[in-house]
Amino acid sequence: MMSPMEAMRGELLQEAQATRRLLERVPGDRLSWRPHKKSMTLGQLALHVARILGVLSQMAQADEFDAANADFSPPAPGSAVEIIEAFERSLAAAASYLAALDAANAESPWRLMLRGTEVFTVPRLGMIRGLLLNHWYHHRGQLTVYLRLLDVPLPVVYGRTADENPFG
């Protein structure tokens, strides 16, 4: 029987294929475009999607994280190639972390703090599910909207899109 950590690593690797296809569609000449003045630019969002896995898997290795120490201003990439390279590094780091994660560490508590005050505590595996994977999927979904607004053909993520149909 597969352990929860093995299942999560398998999910990560499967979802990475869809994420890579999406990131490969990001047009390098539109990185500064944003759908609204309050929104991240396309480049910032794509780089965030590319880096989430590595950044959050690094956070998961500690027993807690104080959000007061976070930099919530996403950097802008210099090119579309930089986004793909960041994704490959991030994916490798997360996959390596999940491959080495043992049951005792996966079940141990992980805390989110804010200026020394506990916000919540969850099992580390819950942090990986909620903050790492679900956060990644959320922003990947945002990226599909950005690309649609730019009339970039969307690749298959979970099934056909208006632009690609693997079933027909």
What is the Cα–Cα distance from 98 to 95, expressed in whole angstroms?
A: 5
Tell me which CATH homologous superfamily contains domain 4-149: dinb family like domain (1.20.120.450)
pTM above 0.85, yes or no: yes
Q: Looking at this protein, which amino acid is placed at residue 78?
A: G
Quote the strand ranges of the chain, DSSP E. Answer: 64-66, 109-114, 117-123
Domain boundaries, the chain: 4-149
What is the Cα–Cα distance from 98 to 112, expressed in whole angstroms?
A: 20
131 and 124 in contact (C-beta within 8 Å)? no
String of DSSP letters for 19-30: HHHHHTT--GGG
Q: What is the pLDDT of residue 67?
A: 95
Strands 64-66 and 109-114, sheet pairing? parallel
Beta-carbon contacts of residue 105 (< 8 Å; ≥ 6 apart): 124
Digitized pLDDT (tens) for each residue of the chain, 168 residues in all? 878 888 889 999 999 999 999 999 999 999 999 999 999 999 999 999 999 999 999 999 999 999 999 888 889 999 999 999 999 999 999 999 999 999 999 999 999 999 999 999 999 999 999 989 999 999 999 999 999 999 999 999 998 999 999 887
* Both structure tokens of 160: 């056909």
Q: What is the pLDDT of residue 123?
A: 96
